Structure 1
Amino acid sequence: MKLASQQTQRFKPHWLPLVTQGGILLYLVLVVTLHVLRPDYTPLFHAESDFAVGPFSFLMTIAFVVRGLLSLALLPVLWPLAASTSMRRHPGLLSLTLWGIGSLLLACFPTDLEGTTHHTLHGGLHLLLAVIAFTGMLVATFRLPRLFERDWRATLSGRGLSIIAWLMLIAFVTMFTAIGIEMGQHSSGYFGLFERIFIGLSLLWLWLVAHHLRKTSA
């Protein structure tokens, strides 16, 4: 048991949470830059994925890759926590993996712009991957905190993760309700706004988790 614990500690990459936090800052810079460069895509109505279509699309492609990598960077640090509690198949780890890989794959399949009458295969795949990725992130926010110490979960930061998770659930439901409105009435359901709220809360949740992992790994 002692040997296993030593091996777990040896292979625990303490610097990866810092990669996650640095990736979050880079992602925000890329997205803000795109909003400045493409004012025709309003944040209220247009999905972030729309930036991957048209001028400066490469910046959104990079942003997708960054979002995927910054999320997956936490897995090698979270895995020992699951292994030490005999929870190797913890659903939160799988859910975070789906979010990370889904974000990476979104870079490969450009979306169909809102209001288009011609739906493409790559646009359909983009929507499917987005649903899988967003669902995975939502599940992860509720499940992964169980890996952390109970005493920490009772602190302000720990309770903050729970509050963020419930806010994300509200944004998730509202976001996909907005999709239904857009599809049914061909008018805006403020999908862009609720999507950005969901992604913003996701990044905040990942930042807090990375911060906690950095402190406990020090």
Structure 2
Amino acid sequence: MRNPEALQTRNASADGASDGASDGAPRASRSTRVLATIALVGAVLYVLVDIVLQALPPHYSVVSEAESNLAVGPYGWVMNLNFLARGVVTVCAVAALAHYGPRTRVRRTGLVLMLIAGACSAALAFLPTDIPAKDAPSLEPTTALGTAHLVVAAGGFLVALVAFGLLTVWLRRSDDLRGAYPAAAVFTGVAAFGLLALGIAAVWAPGVIGLAERVSLVGVLGWVIAVSLVVRRRCS
């Protein structure tokens, strides 16, 4: 005959384990949703801040002048905060994606590269760009900090593109986030086109550098927004 007290203890332990598992899952789901929401809202706010700053003095050209020029002038501190915010957005997006599988080398490499890209964005806040003279090419730094700014900005775009390419391949294989794949693939293509156009413009058509850079930014921020939306839906 079974001991009633032992059976009761065993059932209580099983119930406790079950409760613990059920309690843990909602907490993880809530935290992932919060991270995805911060990434989503942060990316949208980044775009809005860019638009507002573009309309304020000294009225840099959206077509011929780089986005980083917005960090120089009376409202430059706002753009520097925006660069830092993009770094935070990236960290939150990476943390949200890290909750999903499959846990492959492709995913791990993509997330690490994405973090590096976010760090490059944050670093721009501490590396003032050089504003070229009217008759000088748009990307010709004159100081050590200006050169560092250009190198970090270009490296950040390139690393982000590779990260998104890898993560987009991973999304296609993910049971949970496969719905994000089509939009992620489109925005990765936009980022690649913008980066290619930026390289061409830097050599042959400096008058459209600003436009090419902003096309690449559409791809980068659009990827984060689209994927974050799908992550939030999965957590609801």
Which TM-score bucket, shorter chain as reference? 0.7 to 0.9
Q: Could you tell me which residue of structure 2 aligns to residue 185 of structure 1?
A: none
The one-letter code of the counterpart of 1:95 is L
Which structure has the larger Rg?
Answer: 2
Q: Percent identity?
A: 26
* Counterpart selection for 1:87 from 98, 102, 105: 105
> Equivalents in 2 of 1:28, 1:19: separation in Å?
14
For 1:145 and 1:51, the matched residues in 2 are separated by 31
RMSD: 2.8
**Residue of 28, 41, 57 corresponding to 2:47:** 28
Matched pairs, number: 209
Change (3 A) 1:9 1:144: farther
User: Partners of 1:99 and 1:118 in 2: how far apart?
Assistant: 21
* Alignment partner of 1:138 is 2:161: yes
Contact 1:16 1:77 in 2 (8 A): yes
Residue 205 of structure 1 pairs with residue 228 of structure 2:
no
Q: CA shift at 1:205, angstroms?
A: 0.9
My pick for the range that moved more, 117-126 or 100-109, is: 117-126
Alpha-carbon distance change, 130 to 189 in structure 1, aligned in 2, over 3 angstroms: same
CA contact (8 A) 1:46 1:114 kept: no
Q: Name whichever of 205-214 and 33-42 sits farther off.
A: 33-42
Kept after mapping to 2: 8 A contact 1:99/1:134: yes
Q: CA deviation at 1:107?
A: 0.4
Change beyond 3 A, Cα 1:47–1:168:
same
Aligned residue identity for 2:79: M
Counterpart in the other structure of 2:85 = 66
The offset of 1:86, in angstroms, is: 4.4
Q: Deviations over 1:171-213 (max 9, x none)?
A: 111101111236xxxxx33000010111122111100110111
1:124 equivalenced with 2:147 (yes/no): yes
Q: Which AA in structure 1 matches 2:40?
A: Q
CA distance in 1, matches of 2:70, 2:81: 11
Query: Structure 2: where are the runs of 5+ without partners?
Result: 1-19
Matched letter for residue 99 of structure 1:
A
The corresponding residue for 2:124 is 106
Q: Is the 8 A contact 1:20 1:73 kept in 2?
A: yes
- Distance verdict in 2 for CA 1:146–1:175, change over 3 Å: same
Q: Is the 8 A contact 2:43 2:86 kept in 1?
A: yes
- Give me the whole-angstrom Cα distance separating, in 1, the residues matched to 2:141 and 2:162: 33
Q: Deviations over 1:126-184 (max 9, x none)?
A: 1111112101211122111344325853x5x52121122122211111101111236xx
Alignment of 1:178-217 (within 5 A): 178-181=201-204, 188-217=206-235
> Does structure 2 retain, via aligned residues, the 8 Å contact 1:161–1:208?
yes
TM-score if structure 1 supplies the norm length? 0.84
Q: Does the CA-based 8 Å contact 1:81-1:147 persist in structure 2? A: no
What is the distance in 1 between the residues matched to 2:192 and 2:54? Answer: 25
- Hey, which bits of structure 1, 4+ residues long, moved more than 4 A? 6-12
Q: Tell me if structure 1 keeps the 8 A contact 2:107–2:167.
A: no
Distance, in Å, in 2 between the alignment partners of 1:118 and 1:126 is 9
SS in 2 for 1:107: helix
1:40 offset after TM fit, Å? 3.2
Q: Does 1:162 align with 2:188?
A: no
Confirm or deny: 8 A CA contact 2:110 2:164 kept in the other structure. Answer: yes
Aligned-pair CA distance for 1:81 = 2.5
**Distance in 2 between residues matched to 1:89 and 1:44, nearest whole Å:** 35
In the TM superposition, residue 118 of structure 1 has moved relative to its aligned partner by: 6.5
